[in-house]
Structure 1
Amino acid sequence: MTSAGELLHRYSGAMVQVFGQPQLVLASGHGCWVTDVDGKRYLDLLSGIAVNALGHGHPALVQAVTKQAEQAIHISNFFTSEPAVLLAERLLTLAQAPAGSGVFFANSGAEAIEAAIKLSRRTGRSRLIALESSFHGRTTGALALTHKAAYREPFEPLIPEVTFVPPDDADALRAAVDDTTAALFIEPIQGEAGVRELSADYLRLARELTSRHGALLVFDEIQTGIGRTGHWFAHQAADVLPDAMTLAKGLAGGVPIGALVTFGGDVTTLLGAGHHGSTFGGNPLACAAGLAVLDTIEREDLLGNARTVGALLDTLAVPGVSTTRGRGLLRAIELSGIPAPAAMAAAREAGFIVNAVTPTALRLAPPLILTQAELQTFIDALPEILGVAAGPA
């Protein structure tokens, strides 16, 4: 097999450099472990940024994709398929969506957000509200809702009339939502901000204010959905029902898919024939993969596993760690005096894949099949990892 060094050199000559230099060249994966082209194994505690919900090579997902590939991979949006209908019905049931609700399938989280923006336009209003520190995607519509200046500024002007408010600030939210608001977009846990969870009271206030002013409440569950937090969807812990929800990442376990879920007939009928579309969206292969993921999460009680395994990080007592936060298997380890990028590099050298999500925090979003024993190997190695990252005393 070609070496990592050679492949990385060829990468720099063949790829648009939007990602910079890749950290590794991976060749294969099994369970929660991946192997690079030079034969080194790593415990994957990031799972493709919360995508590989069943880890790598899970038999249920492999069998579902193989079977569907033998039947039909793509049929276009002129037609539908049994996997698409079944997956839509299953999502509506898991979301506890009322009669008249619906699903639009896309290919990514950003596309799901774009669909939600178009949904909001159909209210007859155009003003959108998002939160500071938000991340909703890189396409131009989604980027308008993403707060980070470094992502936004090279591509301005973006969609106008977007107001950003501080997260978990009730007074600021009350001041922002009014009768001109089309939609409020919220991540129940802000992943790219460093895994920062919004309070249940804040989510309930968001529901109250948007209902009072006739605006749509959109929960971005792209990273937090599909069991990652120990609930099917993170907002369910607050017992709040949105008007719309966006999904992607873990939904098909690594096969590209996105979804907009609309709640209730008044919202669902805002989009009609010709208002939106996707050539690849809802293809039978992706939907069959999605069904396999949902079936496996339920059959193997991976919601319970996410809660049980993630709880090992609740009381992490390691020098150099100031605190941990998050829910289920979406976690952040906040460091004290140690740069997160250095800790990420040291972890990688030690055989663990994690993400320096902020300059001071490591993000963990491992497969939902991760065992306590596997996570304990990382916890045991963490003191040495942080010692290396801290440098000479």
Structure 2
Amino acid sequence: MMLGFEMCKKLLRLCAACVIAAAIAALGLSSVGAAAPTVEEQARALAAVPKDAVQYYDGYWYSADIVSDPLANWKPHAPPWQICHNDSYLGNSWRANLVAELKALTRQLADQGLAKPDLIVTNSNGDINLELTQLKAQIAQGCDLIMSYPGSATGLCSAIKDAFDKGILVVTIDAPVTCPGALNVARNAYFYAKAQGDWIMKALKGKGNVVMMNGQPGTSDTAANRDAFLEAAKAYPGIEVTGDLYGMWTGSVAKSEMLKFLATHPQKVDAAWSTGNMGVGIGQAFQQSGRPVPIVTDVTNNCSFLAFWKKQKLDTITLVQDGGPTAYEAFVPALHAMVGRKPKVNTIFFPLPSITNANLDDYYEPSMTVQSTCFANGKDLHLVDDAYFDQFFTGDAKVPKVEIVPTE
């Protein structure tokens, strides 16, 4: 029996969805929102988290398991250390800044006689099997500390166990793994999505139409962000979520999806919530449709978004989380562990600075345009004070001092 044209298109879309789902499964990413632990289970998991940091662990189960005293039976190698970086993708400026920062920090330790001067870097370009092979090679070639932006929460576990058994520390940067022996350092996607959701609801005084622009379907970050925003919306019965779109964390895709939405939804949009790198594309879609630009939020401090914000005089909010400063914040806890201090938990969440209209001029520069590819880090490049991490460790060993450096 021959199929009609529209039916063929539907089948093709379904096949594409199957391919995407298979790819997501291969990467070790969740395809659905994580089930929340019971109150009792959460209390047990968070018992070892410092009391001044517990607030940043809301929804932790989307990102990581919380394990207490994860390096109890582990002892670091003596310096000078060979520091390595195992990355899943180096195809954007955020990741390039991350690597540049790690290289600069490694050189600083080398100047103190604590490390070899060259950072060994691998890039699997999205291939988790290759990344696993590269990690095993770094272990074999004598890396003492391996910083990693893993492409899967579980795909590197066999190598991480091998590293742990050999006295090699693996520290993940902003992408927690569930592998025993790893130390995760990250911001909490759920916490910040919920905070931005609350900000939008209050900015709208609890009443209005909101469009959600999610990232990549199926990833744990997307699930965490989406569920957190919807959780925030529950407290405001006057808020209606009129769009639930996916922009793949890419401005051009977000613009296209928003244009399609606006073409079929003539009702007013009061706010558009974005989960990263999509704010400009969303705003431009409203402009191209001849409609007023509403509240448009983002979670990344792209210079392009700040330029759009300034020109359009938006009332909005975003977060500071460039790759360079993010790498630095993971490196500081790594140094705590490398001198023998013991982390209380395997996953360390840290807070991020926010950019609002009140402090926009601390980050915005007149040279920024909507085509800029930089990140607006402001004058103080730290995302959090170094002392924040002290509460996560026991032991009195002296931690080496390093300085964060600006990256392009």
- Pairwise TM-score range, normalised by the shorter structure: 0.3 to 0.5
Higher strand share: 1
- Rg comparison, structure with higher value: 2
Q: Which has the higher contact order (CA 8 A, sep 6+)?
A: 1
TM-score calculated relative to the size of structure 2: 0.31
TM-score calculated relative to the size of structure 1: 0.32
